[in-house]
Each structure stands twice: as structure tokens, then as C-alpha cells.
Structure 1
């Protein structure tokens, strides 16, 4: 599927987001989300949630994904998405995260598990508010995500390309015991490139902050830009990501009740600054070989 890539003037400092034909690029030369100063309820980052604002409704997400939304409802959805970007602020009270350096393309199992759980907690917090079943973290889905990352790296592909790397996703899917179903698995984003972290290394705190920003982008109109641009309506252009993460794409009931989830990161052979983020969701109907893809290998 072709992607409509929106490039800003400085692509070297960017965060890219793409799914099924949509992309957005964000220039980031300052922290993507300043840390909230107020006290919050969360005891750990794993309990962090993203709150869907008033006006951000199931009906509007379904309507916009099926080109059946009225101008009035579209305006209301854009406003709600603006509020979602403004009102949801990253918070991490795990002190060790600011000291722990991680290599996004070579995470330890403990680090991989932590960032996967973190990303999934954000997605599931939004799904719960829409009355949806949670996605589940699954070892086979995580292995699939790692295979996708390897395909991207080995073939020097990234989210900055105009298309998903479908050939690589397909090879990874088949090797993982999944159907050759083209690009039905991946939501793709890009980690912001900041003056502090220009390669694959960053603190766990920074990694969580950037993944938090990526998930916010996906939910709230594919926003592209910096915090200073949250109020610009023209920065909110698509809700396909939201429809996928929330199970609100189909008016005909084709949305999977839940998916098995895995997250991975890849850089490029010739550019270690461009780190792609692969959000992989697997519906059970796409599992071809259950001896290879273990649908029961869920991680709680």
C-alpha cells in the first residue's frame, strides 16, 4: 500500500508514524513530552494510561475510518484529538529508568519485556475506555516482531521509506507460522531523534517517553510536530492507527476482538539514527501453524 508521507523541513530530526498507507513525520529538537510536575496515581510506569478525551467516541472513529463522517463530527474529532495530545503527559516515577541505558536494537530479555509491557499497557488503557478486550503480550508475537525488525535492518529499510517493507513482513510472518496476508500486521512508528539521543542508545526513561509519544500519535489523528504545535488542526490527518489499535476499523464486524502483541525496534545499516518501531498485532485468524506460532504463549 502506498503511504502519503508528510515531511517537514528537517527530516534528520523526526518521528515517523505509518500504517496501511498513512505516514506523518515529526521534527523534535526538544523533549517530546515534558514530565508532569503534579502527583499521579500510577505506582509504576506499567500502570500508566492514556485517557481518551470527551468527544473522542467509538462512532466517530468508525465513521472516519469508513469515510462516513460529517464535517461537524470531523471537526469535533480533531478537537478531541488536540485535547488528547495536550492532556496526556508522560510520567515515570521509576527512578532507575533515568540511569539505565538501553540499546533499542539489542535489548536484554528483561528490557524487551519491560518496554513491551509498557507499550501494551498504553494501548490497552485506551481499548478499555472503548469497551474492548485487551490485547495480550505473546512470546511468539514478540519473536515475530523481532524477525520483522531483522528484515528491516538487513535490507536497510525503515519507516522513513514511502511504503511498509511488505516483502520482509511477509517472510517474517511465514517464518513465524503466520499466513502470507500482506500488510495486516504492522503499525509502524519512528523514535524521535533528539540532540541527546541520536542513535540506538538511550535511557529506559527516554525510550518509554518516546513510545508514549508514538502511541499518542497513533490514537490522536496521526499528529505530527512538537508540543508547541498541538493546537494546530492541520496536524491531525488520519485515524487509521486509532482504528487498528482500538478495533474500530470495520462497520461490518470484521475487527478482531483481541490480538497477540509484540514490539521491536530496528535501525538501518547506513543510518543508526533512524530507529523504526514495529507494533505487531496478530489476530488468531492469521495463525497458519500453531506448532510454530504458539497462541498459548501469552505473558501476563
Structure 2
């Protein structure tokens, strides 16, 4: 009994006509491949056909070969959990100087390495087949979809915090409600990341949720342009990932294409917040977290909302908020 050959991939016949199949000798077989049909292949090599050597794929069980010029190769889809790792040289002491407007050349170099090494946002890799198949409306998420995106975002933040030896942030029902209320406030007033932080709306929402705050102490924000109302869960996760990279590494470019230009590394205020490193009495603290999305004029804003534990414990700032 001959063992079955291992499948290496698949090819789909291009065009609208049948194409010849070949023998391993380079001669025509008496068979054809059907247009637009998908075939598995188990080997590939160059066949000598006349005076030319042409790449071909072995399909079927009878050693038929199809020329590469007549097919489109279906790439094998890989799945891998997104992760964020902080590069060597990215330290809290170096971050604090950058937060204060004095980033060192070594810290900028480390930030550029971080943007390059963390690749999930610019590859075709997905976390799962289900993510590729699930179509979502980011501004009208189901409870399960909202929960998944919040958990995903918090996982990435805590991976980065762990590398800097910081306590993990905690997900909480009260902060998730605050996040959604803030997103609603942006939507109601037609605001987006293009307009900057909507401080008046954030303050109003914080007070409505029992937090006596008079400025934006809870929101980090990123965003992206997309005229579509729906997208796959994979697309949304890649946008969340890129937004986090921008904030963690001080990058202000609009896409991955400018990441090797050091002039686009100049804003670490968000990183100071995400790492509780701002030169205050509460450096090293950890926060309660929630995540939400709003949209205005085809711009999606992603609201990374966190409430520091010292605020939750404070009778001055916490009137009735419950995490």
C-alpha cells in the first residue's frame, strides 16, 4: 500500500477555459483542468517543455502536473494570538524623561524597534478562523463582541506592562459602562479623534458615573478612517493593535509606512498613562479598564478608558463610582 502524498497547498485554475495537464516528462496528458476549480497539490517542480523549463504543480492521484502560469496559488492561512513585547532599552526611567519632553536617542531607537518587532497589525495573520469569518459593526457590537474586544485589548496592555514589571490593569463592569457612555457622548456630539479628546464630554460623563473629575484623566484614544459600516473581527483587532502600538511607542504616523522615520516619534503622554509613569505620587499604580468605539464622519475612535485605583479609593474624586 502506497502512503498518501502530503498536501502542500491548493491552486485555483485561472480564466474561463480548460487548461492542459502534463506528465512528469513534460508531455501533454490526455486530461484537462476545469476553469475556476480548486485543486490540492502535493509537489512542485520545473518541467522541461520543449526548450523551456516551466514551474508546475502536481495535482490529483495520477501524477498530473499543471503549469503555474495557469493557476493562482491559495496561500495557507496561519493563525496566531496577537502579542506585544517591549524592546530592550524601553524602561520606565527612560519613558519618564520622554513623557517630560526629553526623550533620549536610545529611547527613540527602542521605540522604533518596538514598532517594527510587533507585527500583528501589518500581517495577514489572524487570531482565529472565527475572527476572519465574523462580521461586526464596531458601533453596534453584541455584548459578546464587546467583551471579546475589551479582553483582547486588556491582554495586550498587560503583556506590555508585565515586561516593565508593572501590576496588571483590571477589567471592571463600572469602567466598561463609563467607556460606552463616553463613546455615546462622542457620537451624540459628532466628535472623533480628529477633534482631539472631547474633554467637556468626558468630564460630563465621569460626573454622571460618580467621578468628580474636572479634566480628562481617564481616556487614551486612537482611531482610523474607514467608510465601511462593517468589518471582520480580525480587521478590528488589527486596528486596536496598531492604535496601542502608536501610544506605547510615541508614534504619530498615520500608518505603518512611516515607522522607520524617527521624526514621527514624539508623543509619549499616552504611554505615560498606560504605564502609570508620569512623575506623580501615584507612579506604579494600576487601573480599572474598559474599551469602546465610536464613529463620526467615517472616522472610528477607539476609547481606551481606565480609572486609577487611587481615584477609586479617594473620597475626593470618587462620589459614587463602583468599578
The offset of 1:55, in angstroms, is 1.5
The offset of 1:294, in angstroms, is 2.3
* Distance in structure 2 (CA, Å) of the matches to 1:225 and 1:206: 16
Partner of 1:238: 267
Partner of 1:214: 243
From 199, 204, 210, the equivalent of 1:166 is 199
- Structure 1 residues 33-112: aligned runs within 5 Å: 45=81, 48-67=82-101, 69=103, 74-90=104-120, 91-112=125-146
* Distance in structure 1 (CA, Å) of the matches to 2:281 and 2:215: 21
- RMSD over aligned CA atoms reads 2.2
Unmatched tracts of structure 2, length 5 or more? 1-75
Superposed CA deviations along residues 151-172 of structure 1, whole A, max 9, x for unmatched, are 11111111101x4211111111
Superposed CA deviations along residues 77-108 of structure 1, whole A, max 9, x for unmatched, are 11111111111111433111011011111111
Superposed CA deviations along residues 106-129 of structure 1, whole A, max 9, x for unmatched, are 111100000001111111111001
Computing the radius of gyration from Cα coordinates, the structure with the larger value is: 2
* Distance in structure 1 (CA, Å) of the matches to 2:253 and 2:151: 25
Tell me which of the two structures has the higher relative contact order, counting C-alpha pairs closer than 8 angstroms and 6 or more residues apart: 1
8 Å CA contact 1:85, 1:220 repeated in 2: yes
- Structure 1 residues 69-218: aligned runs within 5 Å: 69=103, 74-90=104-120, 91-161=125-195, 163-193=196-226, 198-218=227-247
TM-score normalised over the length of structure 2: 0.70
Q: Bigger shift: 204-213 or 235-244?
A: 235-244
Partner of 1:34: none
TM-score normalised over the length of structure 1: 0.75
Specify the SS of the correspondent of 1:160.
helix
Cα gap change, 1:84 to 1:192, in 2 (>3 Å): farther
Superposed CA deviations along residues 23-79 of structure 1, whole A, max 9, x for unmatched, are xxxxxxxxxxxxxx9978x5xx3xx3211112111111011212455xxxx211111
Unmatched tracts of structure 1, length 5 or more? 1-36, 296-300
* Pairing 1:276–2:301 present: yes
* Distance in structure 1 (CA, Å) of the matches to 2:77 and 2:286: 34
8 Å CA contact 1:85, 1:216 repeated in 2: yes
8 Å CA contact 2:251, 2:259 repeated in 1: no
Superposed CA deviations along residues 199-234 of structure 1, whole A, max 9, x for unmatched, are 341110000011000000111113313323221011
